[in-house]
Copies of this chain bind each other. A is one copy, B any other.
Amino acid sequence: MKRLLITGAGGNLGKICREGLKGYANVIRLSDISPMDPAGPNEEVVQCDLSDRAAVIDLTKDIDGIIHLGGISIEAAFDDLLQANLAGTYNLYEGARQNGVKRIMFASSNHAIGFHKRTTKLDDTSEQRPDSLYGVTKCYGEAMASYYFDKFDVETVSVRIGSCFEKPKDRRMLSTWMSPRDFISLMKAIFNAPMTGHLVMYGVSDNTSKWWSNDHADFLGWKPQDSSEQFRAEIEATFPPEDRHDPAVIYQGGGFAAKGHFED
C-alpha cells in the first residue's frame, strides 16, 4: 500500500496502530484532533478536526486506505457526538469518495450491539441494539459505510471492537478482550484481502468465553492468536464475582448498558 491514513492516531488504538503498522505502507499519515508526537520516518502527521469537512477532504487526498479510529470513543454529550461522530464520519466518507480511497476500516464498537444479553451468541446478522448514544453513532457509521459501498464502491470493514488493551481489565473483558497483536494482524488482513465489500465483524481475540462469531468473515484469512484465558486466574482473584441481576452483567455492553442518560 502506498499511503495509509490513520485517524484518531493519538488515542489508545491509534498508538497501537502507529507502532504496530510501522513499515506496513510506504507512508502512513497520522491524524488526530490533538497534537501528536512528531513524524518519524515514512510518517506524516496532520492535526485535523474531523468535523471540519474541508480539512478532512484535504486529509484524505492521495490515500489508498483508511483506519478510521477518530471521533469520540466513549459515551458523551450528544452535541459532541453530533460533530465528531455524525458529521465527522460523513466527512471522512466524502473525503474517501472524492479522493478515490479504496477501503476503510471503520472502528465500530461492541456498544452498537451492547443491549444483547451475554447469553446470546451474535454474528453479522444480529440486529443492532446500541447501549448508548455513542453506540447509536456507531450504528449510524455502519449504515454510512453500507451506503458508500453500495452506491460509490468504497469498501469498508466495520469492526465492532471489543476491548483492546495489553490485558483484560475486568471480568467482562475476559470475553471482549482483543490483544494489540490481534488488532494489528486484523488491520493487515483487512487491507491485504482482495475484496471485502461492506463487511461487519467483531474485533476480539480467540477468547475461550466469547459472545461473537466471525465465521462469516473467514474469507479475510484472519486468525487471532491470543486468548484472555491466560489472565483468568488473575482477573478472578482481583475482581469480585458479578451479580447477574446487574444490567452491567446481563448485557454485552457492560457499564454502557447499565448507565442512565449521559446528561442526567
List A residues 203-252 near B (Cβ within 8 Å): 207-211, 213, 215-216, 218-223, 229, 232, 241-244, 249-250
Q: How far is the CA of A215 from the CA of B215 in the complex (A)?
A: 11
Contact assessment for B210 and A174 in the assembled complex, using a CB-CB cutoff below 8 Å: no
* Contact B97–A86 (Cβ < 8 Å): no
Chain B's closest residue to A242 (CB) is B194
Is A109 in the interface zone, CB < 8 Å from B?
A: no
Report whether B130 and A146 are in contact in the complex, using a CB–CB cutoff of 8 Å.
yes
Return the chain B residue nearest A112 by Cβ: B143
A218 pairs with B223, CB closer than 8 A: no
A196 touches B129 (CB 8 A): no
Answer whether A136 and B140 are a contact pair too, CB < 8 Å, given A119-B196, A194-B249, A195-B119: yes
Residues of B within 8 A of A87 (CB): 78, 82
Q: Is B143 within 8 A of A199, CB to CB?
A: no
Contact call A250/B195, Cβ cutoff below 8 A: yes
Residues of B within 8 A of A49 (CB): none
User: Which of A174, A219, A261 has the most chain B CB atoms closer than 10 A to its own CB?
Assistant: A219
**Interface contact A211-B219, CB-CB below 8 Å:** yes
A133 to B148, CA, bound (A): 9
Chain B interface: which of A14-22, A120-128, A160-168? A120-128
B151→A143 contact, CB < 8 A: no
Report the copy number of this chain in the oligomer. Answer: 6
Q: Is the pair A143, B152 in contact by a Cβ cutoff of 8 Å?
A: no
CA distance A87 to B220 in the complex (A): 37
Question: Residues of B contacting A257 with CB < 8 Å?
Answer: 150-151
CA separation between A223 and B207, bound complex, in Å?
10
- A241 to B102, alpha carbons, bound, how many Å? 14
Contacts of A220 in B (CB 8 A): 209
Query: For the complex, what is the distance from the CA of A209 to the CA of B220, rounded to whole Å?
Result: 6
Given A82-B86, A118-B195, A215-B121, residue A129 in contact with residue B152 (CB < 8 A): no
* Bound form: Cα–Cα A94–B144 in Å: 23
Determine if A174 and B221 form an interchain contact, defined as CB atoms under 8 angstroms apart.
Answer: yes
Report, nearest first, the 5 A-B pairs whose CB atoms are least far apart: A209-B221, A139-B143, A194-B242, A195-B244, A115-B150
The 27 sampled A-B contact pairs (Cβ below 8 Å) are A82-B87, A115-B147, A115-B150, A117-B195, A118-B194, A119-B199, A127-B146, A128-B143, A130-B143, A130-B146, A130-B147, A135-B147, A136-B140, A136-B144, A140-B140, A151-B257, A151-B260, A152-B261, A171-B194, A175-B221, A194-B244, A208-B221, A208-B222, A209-B218, A210-B218, A211-B219, A221-B232
